[in-house]
Structure formats: structure tokens, C-alpha cells
Amino acid sequence: MKVSEDGRALIRRFEGLALRAYQDAAGVWTIGYGHTGEAARQGSSLGEADAEALLRSDLARFEEGVAERLLVPVDQNQFDALVSLAFNIGLAAFGRSTALRRLNAGDVVGAASAMTWWNKATVAGRKRTLPGLVRRRAAEAALFLSGPDYQLPVVATQSGSSCTSRSKVRKS
């Protein structure tokens, strides 16, 4: 499975484009669209075409890494959200995450909820909630729950109005 253009747009939006290397909030050298590999070092720069090439290369690695860790089928939106999460937190952390464990156990809503827990970074030696990560995780969780294979059921309340159930739901 490959990340869709919508998924790439989400990653681009939250990573932003940096044509000159910088240290992110956690002190990691970064360039392009969130690339932290060899090309990201103090004083380095690149053009937009190179940033796109790095993104394609990085995404291929994350697409493969996410797919290898999935034990259940996912739809395109879920895959896009998972790759965005893994792209940001790393494949090792994604592989150990409660989000992945819950998804692989069939708990789609629980997986989306656990995705939002990854909203902190170590800044000056302390874990801090970062507003940008809060927004990113909310966007990823919303995308994760928006696919054609997953709908939150409408449940009647005692007053006769309807609400959306947040319990575990499996597609029939």
C-alpha cells in the first residue's frame, strides 16, 4: 500500500518545508519535509525538487515499515494516518505503540485515541506537550476514523435524540 496524495499533503503540511537544515524542538537536525537522515546536518541546504525526492524516499521506507507491522487490513485513510504518525515518531516507537497494539487487536477507536497520546517532545531535557503535535495527532486521528470502511454508528439516547457511539466497532 502507498500513501495517497492526501496523506502526503497532510505530512507536508505538518512537517513544513525547510530548505536549510535546522534543529527541531527536540534538537534533531532536520531538512526538507521532516527528513532527519544524512542530508540533515548543520549548514546543509537543498532545493524543492531535492526535498520532494527525500520525501518520496522517506515515505517508501515508512510505508513498508507500517505495512510490515499491521496484522489487520486498513483502508487508505487509516494507512495514511498511520504512516504520518510513524513518519513523525519513528518506526521503532510506532512498532511499540499502544495505537498499533490496539489496531492489531481490532480496536479501531482505541487505536485512534492512542494516536493522540504522541503529543510530547523532549525539550531542554523535559517532556512537553507541543501544540503543533496536538494539532497533528488530532488531524491524524480524524483521518484515521474517516475512511469508507469505518463509520461511527448512530445510537438512540434515552431522550430520543441520537449520538455517536465511541465504543469498539468492527465492520461487518
Residues marked active site are found at 15
What span, in angstroms and rounded, lies between the C-alpha atoms of 164 and 170?
Answer: 15
Write out the DSSP string of 42-93. Answer: TT-B--HHHHHHHHHHHHHHHHHHHHHH--S---HHHHHHHHHHHHHH-HHH
Residue in 119, 85, 80, 84 with CA at minimum distance from that of residue 99:
85
